[in-house]
Amino acid sequence: MVVADERWHPGIVGIVAGRLVEKYKVPSVVLSLKNGKAVGSARSIPSVNIYEIMEKHSYLFEKFGGHSLAAGLTIKKENIPKFRELLSYTLRNMSGRETVSYIEIDMEVPLSYWTSEKVNQLKILEPFGEGNPYPKFIAKI
């Protein structure tokens, strides 16, 4: 997912890219456009090294840096469609195992553990939100 807009402040693009990854489970690039250039942030999923993909197509960027899960970049506006196309092509041609969606689990807990009292005890962890995400449990049956 590569999105760009002139109305977006460069200071929020990293947060937005992270939220898109959380929601859609795909690598996301959010760009703030100004004067024919875009400054932005890329966020990825554990199975897709976004930095490696960007490095392979480094000729598209004025500058970029980061690591496998996050990167910052500056790109000319006219190069955005090509970047979008190359990223999409790369992801489509990865084996299915590499691009499988994922959910991060906090803990495995047997179903027999859960009582209404235990569920109510989770309220002491509130409020849930960005810095304190909802806990995710898994039970094998």
**Domains of the chain from N-terminus onward:** 2-95 (3.10.310.30), 107-138 (no CATH)
- Per-residue model confidence (pLDDT) at position 1: 87
Reading the block at residue 33, the tokens are 């456009």
Instruction: Give the whole-angstrom CA distance, residue 88 versus residue 129.
Output: 31
Tell me the whole-structure pTM to 2 decimals. 0.67
Copy the structure tokens of residue 87: 């990223």
The phi-psi region of residue 66 (left if phi > 0; otherwise alpha if psi is between -120 and 50; otherwise beta) is left
Mean pLDDT in consecutive groups of 10 residues from the start of the chain, 141 residues: 91 91 89 94 90 93 93 95 90 64 78 89 84 84 69
Q: How many CB atoms lie within 10 A of CB 38?
A: 28
Instruction: Indicate the SS3 state at residue 122.
Output: helix
What pLDDT is stored for residue 139 in this prediction?
84
